[in-house]
Structure 1
């Protein structure tokens, strides 16, 4: 393969959610972005790699800026090759995610290896644990969704909180715990919604309800506040999500602000970047887990491969396909009893998303 053999194309898409997802950041009712196809015309058997750019307000560049970045990447790929194309979209993380995923899919396909082994060079991984993601609905709706998830075999549920009062959220979690029993792990994600006092109140109650993890309870800038919450040793792990983008790994580690760091490949600029961050966190004895930004099947499958390349990864937020009313193509990832079955085909394993 030479740079002259590569061609890049992209097309827009819009995917409606099955139901609006309520979060402290607002309501998500659809996901818009761009499907990317990279073709290597070398030899008698052209190879294809797929990528996906699905911007999310507050996390990535805008949809318009993402399209402009993909236009630049398309031109730069023709004149300067993959490295220069990646460099030209380095600050547009959703666009870079798409291009880097397509390049990795193409290369893993050429090497006839699953993408996760191309990323991690590790042993075969058959499954990765996943959690169910439950929106910030009413107590009755939250309980219904959690019970349905437990009945489907999920042994970990992440509940969105922060849209209501802390007292209401505590009651929602209490009702879920009563409904699913003691054997289902519960996590809560506040998406920066609380003050320190509110977070402390929730943390104390969540400890009594055996909540395992509280994700981003304070604004991303409040690193010392997160460190203080963590120092209380309630038994509830403190996870940072938005905080990673603002502070970086070393600053989080120096502040002792997190037990867990959440990796969103779309927001970090690609699964290649996220894999390096995961390795860095492991060296610092900080747990990393992988979540999507409610993406289409291409990015979602890429995130599954990323999780499979992270040793001893805990339950990840990858079971988000059911949140979509429609998708870009057939999902190659099966969900069984709280696990995602990792595709073992060469490359990404997504094959039917681009139709002429």
Structure 2
């Protein structure tokens, strides 16, 4: 069997409410859908988050053609190692989502060939459902409380909120509103996206401790693990590494530095599902749990993640998902919007990823990308024009 061609389709799917974090905002999800065709008529699906942009993902996919076309999609390790080493793509992290999409499509092909859901090829079911948190969009305290109440009534066990506002008092008001809206039994996780200095992080986390936080995600720079370890040693809330732990090499450094209690892992940021499994294995050997990070996923990449998480023991926390933000999806019957029931997703039963694209919605959102793609980018024009600094204070 050989790969004969692949087709990349960028799509833009609106959010129900804008995503806002310490240094920017997005009004929707841009992903590049990948269809990998073979000489035996089996087509595999993949998806790459448009990180850092759809144009870069598409350029990387074009660059991968000489190494992918003609390759056997069943020899996944060999194919990916050729891309990383012969193609020298392992030096540039921005290439990872495109490589991950190719690897994902190959897994879909293999599963379809043997008539098995991907979870069975990655170790079998350790769990039947995969838990996700409810992403509470930043807003006024009243809006935050309303969204938190909605999450609790829908049965989500965990609410997630971005902090790192220019005024720390705004963060305190929002987290208080989050607790008030979610109630006492819901877990609360906050993410500063590196916005704080070590001293500010310690002060802020101590002031937030009365709200019984589950985790604080990346309170300080991910580039200085000594700072992260400093904060971890001075607060009572467990620390989740994210920007510090996007690849398995980064995770090894975080473990060695004793810088976090929990680590984020992400197949799209580390070039594939096999590397996600390797990341989780590293952390398990160190006695640490992991959570799945997301740059934003539609149904294809979401299904791939669910298969991998379901087959891996140490995903002990709710994972990052976009069900609360997405207004729609591009798959038939499986996606963040349709399939999240009381905060979790069942593992797809069909062969491979177990999902199919909805041609009408793919066409609709491909046209939206062509017409308005620049409006869905990561950057916030207002933030770009402001005098930015990391950390904020």
Shift in alpha-carbon separation, 1:86–1:298, aligned structure 2, 3 A: farther
Work out whether residues 5 and 37 of structure 2, in 8 Å CA contact, stay in contact via their aligned partners in 1.
yes
The Cα shift of 1:168 comes to: 2.1
Which residue in the other structure is 1:74 paired with?
Answer: 65
- Residues 227-266 of structure 1: pairs in structure 2 closer than 5 A: 227-232=229-234, 234=236, 236-245=237-246, 248-266=250-268
The Cα shift of 1:222 comes to: 2.7
Work out whether residues 215 and 239 of structure 2, in 8 Å CA contact, stay in contact via their aligned partners in 1.
yes
Which residue in the other structure is 2:386 paired with?
Answer: none
Work out whether residues 297 and 321 of structure 2, in 8 Å CA contact, stay in contact via their aligned partners in 1.
no
- Residues 28-47 of structure 1: pairs in structure 2 closer than 5 A: 28-42=26-40, 46-47=41-42
The Cα shift of 1:81 comes to: 4.9
For 2:349 and 2:70, how far apart are their aligned partners in 1?
Answer: 34
Q: Which moved more, 1:160-169 or 1:183-192?
A: 160-169
Work out whether residues 166 and 198 of structure 1, in 8 Å CA contact, stay in contact via their aligned partners in 2.
no
Q: Write out per-residue CA displacement over residues 179-207 of structure 1, whole angstroms, 9 at most, x where no aligned residue.
A: 32221000101111111122111211222
3-state secondary structure, aligned to 1:38: strand
1:115 aligns with 2:118: yes
Work out whether residues 291 and 320 of structure 2, in 8 Å CA contact, stay in contact via their aligned partners in 1.
no
Shift in alpha-carbon separation, 1:245–1:339, aligned structure 2, 3 A: closer
Which residue in the other structure is 2:106 paired with?
Answer: 103
For 1:342 and 1:25, how far apart are their aligned partners in 2?
Answer: 34
For 2:131 and 2:329, how far apart are their aligned partners in 1?
Answer: 22
Work out whether residues 205 and 235 of structure 2, in 8 Å CA contact, stay in contact via their aligned partners in 1.
no
Shift in alpha-carbon separation, 1:232–1:241, aligned structure 2, 3 A: same
For 2:153 and 2:291, how far apart are their aligned partners in 1?
Answer: 24
For 1:111 and 1:12, how far apart are their aligned partners in 2?
Answer: 29
Work out whether residues 196 and 218 of structure 1, in 8 Å CA contact, stay in contact via their aligned partners in 2.
yes
For 1:33 and 1:149, how far apart are their aligned partners in 2?
Answer: 26
Q: Write out per-residue CA displacement over residues 12-39 of structure 1, whole angstroms, 9 at most, x where no aligned residue.
A: 2222222211111311113323211112
- Residues 124-139 of structure 1: pairs in structure 2 closer than 5 A: 125-139=127-141
Gaps of 5+ in 2: 74-78, 364-393
The Cα shift of 1:291 comes to: 2.7
The Cα shift of 1:283 comes to: 0.8
Work out whether residues 31 and 295 of structure 1, in 8 Å CA contact, stay in contact via their aligned partners in 2.
yes
| TM-score, normalised with respect to structure 2 | 0.81
Work out whether residues 36 and 50 of structure 1, in 8 Å CA contact, stay in contact via their aligned partners in 2.
yes
Gaps of 5+ in 1: none
Which residue in the other structure is 1:56 paired with?
Answer: 51
- Residues 284-323 of structure 1: pairs in structure 2 closer than 5 A: 284-323=286-325
For 2:166 and 2:111, how far apart are their aligned partners in 1?
Answer: 45
Shift in alpha-carbon separation, 1:285–1:124, aligned structure 2, 3 A: closer
Work out whether residues 297 and 321 of structure 1, in 8 Å CA contact, stay in contact via their aligned partners in 2.
no
Which residue in the other structure is 1:9 paired with?
Answer: 7
Work out whether residues 307 and 316 of structure 1, in 8 Å CA contact, stay in contact via their aligned partners in 2.
no
